[in-house]
Amino acid sequence: MSKFLIAGLGNFDLEYAGTRHNIGFDIVDALVQKHGGSFAISRLAGVAEIKWKGKTIFCIKPTTYMNLSGKAVKYWMDKENIAIENLMVIVDDKALPLSRLRIRPGGSDGGHNGLKSVHEYLGTTEYPKLRFGIGDNFPKGMQVEYVLGKWKKEEVPLVKLKIEKAAEAIESFVSAGIERTMEQFNKLEVTL
């Protein structure tokens, strides 16, 4: 039975719940809920184990804070003996519009501190990533407030729909592989 590690990045404190930067947590929450699982606090992360189509999927929400996410990702990869190509890290991405998801088998951290940390701990940037576009609709100098801010009321329905699509993309990654998943989801424009 093959094993996968799906790491949704975010910050564990309640004050960050529902913010753009915590979308990784929201996506793994949706995936685990869809499959009837639940999270328990374990070493360095909230962890849920789900079984689907003959695969075991470990979902983690690191409790290390965004900038040390790599520590939790590395620990759970080693503990569960998960191959790097069976890892998927989920992050917010301000370079993508709100209507888009982007899946890649590797590539740079794009200035994202969570991905920088994963890169440092794994010693490579060549692992699958799911980037959830949050757009860049903020005034100059207000990036931190925007990224750590909550979704606008009018954005919420689209965000919820896109979280469902992201969960489907993860299922596709697990069952059909990254190439087919990229073909299906990278060109998808999520609209209401």
Using one digit for the tens of pLDDT, what is the confidence trace for 162-178?
999 999 999 999 999 99
Compute, in degrees rounded to 10, the torsion defined by CA atoms 7, 12, 17, 20.
Answer: -50
Predicted confidence at residue 146, as pLDDT, reads 96
Q: Which of 21, 35, 112, 119 is catalytic?
A: 21
pLDDT tens readout for residues 5-32 = 999 999 999 999 999 999 999 999 999 9
Q: What is the 3-state secondary structure (H, E, C) of 124-169?
A: CCCCCEEEEECCCCCCCCCHHHHHCCECCHHHHHHHHHHHHHHHHH
What burial letters (b/e) apply to 61-99, b meaning 16+ CB within 10 Å? bbbbbbebbbbbbbbbbeebebeeebbbbbbbbbebebe
Active-site residue flag, 112: no
Classify 3-185 by CATH class: alpha beta
Predicted confidence at residue 53, as pLDDT, reads 94
Instruction: Tell me the two tokens of residue 22.
Output: 């915590």
Q: How far is CA 139 from CA 24, 65, 86, in A?
A: 24, 26, 38
pLDDT tens readout for residues 116-154 = 999 999 999 999 999 999 999 899 999 999 999 999 999
The Cα 12–Cα 25 span in angstroms is 9
How does residue 58 score in pLDDT terms, banded at 50, 70 and 90?
very high
Instruction: Tell me the two tokens of residue 182.
Output: 């990229």
Predicted confidence at residue 72, as pLDDT, reads 98
Is the pLDDT assigned to residue 1 strictly greater than 70? no
- Mean per-residue pLDDT for 102-111? 96
Q: What is the CA radius of gyration of the chain?
A: 15
**Run of H or E including 189:** none
